[in-house]
Amino acid sequence: MSTAKIIDGKAIAGEMTDQLADRVKTYISQTGSPPCLAVVLVGEDPASAVYVRNKGKTAEKIGFRSIQHTLPADTAEDVVIELVNDLNDDPAVNGILVQLPLPDHIDEKKIIGLIAPEKDVDGFHPINVGRLGAGDFESALIPCTPAGSIILAKSAHGENLSGLNAVIVGRSNIVGKPAAQLLLAENCTVTIAHSRTKGLETVVRRADLVVAAVGRAEMIKGDWIKPGAIVIDVGINRVPAPEKGDGKTKLVGDVDFDSAKNVAGAITPVPGGVGPMTIALLMHNTFTAACRQNGVSSI
């Protein structure tokens, strides 16, 4: 039984950020100042805190200026609105990221809608969503996780994904829907499935390319996978790991990796697959935003 190629997202993301660091040096020589990313974190969600810390470290490593605003969980919505407006108005800030999820008393849609579209490096603003849906990749800022997923798929299959039967399991605005738009642009035949899809196993088994983003630990089993298919696992789920000791946990994806790796042609691990790419694409979006705002042609 052959084993799938393991797609090393960490290595691919590292190459991307190394290349970006060189481009940042050129940008600074042309503009006199580095691109600037501002991150807003409300509350003390441990996973969010780790993500924000990693984003800040990567930003500084490649030569960006990184600003972090950490607010208590009980911060009033008006305070967050005022902060976002201040960042919108600050010409030195090129990218704004409000870490999700926000506490329940803060309206996420309202906050996302307040971010200036040209600084919306997550790609969640309705204007960027519309541009992506219309295929306007020249002016859109594209959501990072879906964009990273496509790059990983191409690393396994080659640049031309045209004609592949792609199944996305998950319909979120953050991953599922934008991934569908990107795969349509690559001339794939795209199906968006989800936890309520009838005959989900059969639907997934038809796929040449599976993007798993349903948010359920190890839901997609190896016998759901078409032999030789490419599997991109976006899921990040923390589950008990008694084998590591009392009370210990581990991260797993939405795909049962151990069974799927014996069937798939290529598969991303969790961790070390899509996660690092999300941060690399965030840096790419921040750089793109800075270039557009300052009239710098492609470097």
- Catalytic residue, chosen from 18, 22, 25, 55, is 55
Express each pLDDT in 155-209 by its tens digit: 999 999 999 999 999 999 999 999 999 999 999 999 999 989 999 999 999 999 9
Instruction: Check for a shared fold between 32-117 and 144-276.
Output: yes
List the strands of the sheet with 95-98, edge to edge. Answer: 65-71, 36-42, 95-98
The model carries a pTM of 0.95
Number of H helices, E strands in the chain: 10, 11
Is 254 annotated in the active site? no
**pLDDT tens-digit readout, 229-255:** 999 999 999 998 888 888 899 999 999
Tell me which CATH homologous superfamily contains domain 144-276. Answer: NAD(P)-binding Rossmann-like Domain (3.40.50.720)
Record: fold of 32-117: Rossmann fold (3.40.50)
68 is an active site residue: no
Spatial distance between the Cα atoms of 150 and 185, rounded to a whole number of angstroms = 11
Select which of 30, 61, 68, 99 is catalytic: 99
User: Taking the CB of residue 232, how many other CB atoms lie within 10 A of it?
Assistant: 31
Whether pLDDT at 83 is above 80: yes
Instruction: Single out the catalytic residue among 119, 120, 122, 254.
Output: 122
pLDDT recorded at residue 247: 85
Domain ranges of the chain: 32-117, 144-276
Average pLDDT of span 139-156: 97
Can 198 be counted among the known catalytic residues?
A: no
pLDDT of residue 1: 59
